[in-house]
Chains A and B, each alone.
Chain A
Amino acid sequence: MGEPVEFERTIVRVSPASLTLAEVRDLLEAEVCWAQDLTAQVSAVGAADLMSDVLAFGRPGMLLLTGLNAPQAVRTAALTDLPAVVFVRGKQPGPEVLAMAQQAGLPLLSTPLTMFEASGRLYGALFAAGRTDA
């Protein structure tokens, strides 16, 4: 029986630049399902439907991009201090998910884009060569 694979060294690229949630909304043509404000800073993005993976590699400042429209997405993000959750492919959070996000103070957005398209746009914005602003 081999040693379990250790994921400590999993690389989540953190950009020296960052985006505000308002910029994320514009880039992803997203609808704001709920947010107190859109000033939180995003310096990394995790695209995942598996919340155990997010718990393993998540870090503060990492936006969660997910197709998992379930309370566990909100719990996971709130427990690990992620700045917001963006649901892909136009998924709309139900009342239970919304209420949980409001209670946790966690902004929720919904983008019509696919996970791939949304990831690509965010990657480009955070890591585009020569970007030195923000």
Chain B
Amino acid sequence: MTEVHFSRAFEIRGGDITNAGRVSTEIKDLLKGMGCNASFIRRVAIASYEAEMNVVMYARRATLVLHVTPEVVELDLTDEGPGIPDIDLAMQEGYSTATSEMREMGFGAGMGLPNIRRNSDQFVIDSVVDRGTHLTIRVHMA
């Protein structure tokens, strides 16, 4: 990334259903305060919320770092968790390892990672089983 104008780190706790979405709401409010346009903010918010829900549902904890430049917003998310054994499979719409408890929250239908990809201009995912998953999500302003 080029010149970073703004960065902030957020902590997300696995299993913390009550606060699920709070970080994404904060990010949305920050971008709104910076005067970003509404459809751009929606794309970032959707990608961020799906990523946040994944941490809440599957991981123990994660750090999400937000970088904002005049051209791009980057979300860099590193979690400690079970990891994803087969990323290609996880990227398929409809593939899920969710429990019924997760489905009762309206998530866990195998749409999360595809939704993140759909709303990002660049999406990088790597994962180590029993260690965790790392996502880099970039959304361009233009």
- Is the contact region of chain B dominated by helix, strand, or loop, or is it mixed? helix
At the interface, yes or no: B107 with Cβ under 8 Å from chain A? yes
Could you tell me if A79 and B93 are in contact, using CB atoms closer than 8 angstroms?
Answer: no
Chain A residues with Cβ below 8 Å from B18 are 71, 96
At the interface, yes or no: A11 with Cβ under 8 Å from chain B? no
Chain A residues with Cβ below 8 Å from B74 are none
Chain B residues with Cβ below 8 Å from A96 are 18
Could you tell me if A56 and B49 are in contact, using CB atoms closer than 8 angstroms?
Answer: no
At the interface, yes or no: A44 with Cβ under 8 Å from chain B? no
At the interface with chain A, which of B65-73, B112-120, B122-130? B112-120
Interface centre among B28, B91, B111 (most CB of A within 10 A): B111
Chain B residues with Cβ below 8 Å from A22 are none
Interface size on B, residues (CB 8 A): 31
Interface size on A, residues (CB 8 A): 30
Q: What 0/1 readout, one digit per residue, does chain B (26-38) give for beta carbons within 8 Å of chain A? A: 0010000000001
Within the complex, the shortest CB–CB distance from A68 to chain B, in Å, comes to: 5
Chain A residues with Cβ below 8 Å from B106 are 49-52, 54, 66, 68, 70, 72-73, 76
Q: What 0/1 readout, one digit per residue, does chain B (86-97) give for beta carbons within 8 Å of chain A? A: 001101111000
Q: Known: A4-B91, A50-B109, A60-B38. Contact between A79 and B20, CB under 8 A? A: no
Interface centre among A49, A53, A55 (most CB of B within 10 A): A55
Q: Known: A1-B89, A1-B92, A79-B25. Contact between A71 and B20, CB under 8 A? A: yes
Chain A interface (Cβ < 8 Å from any Cβ of B): 1-2, 4-8, 49-56, 60, 66, 68, 70-73, 75-76, 78-81, 96, 104
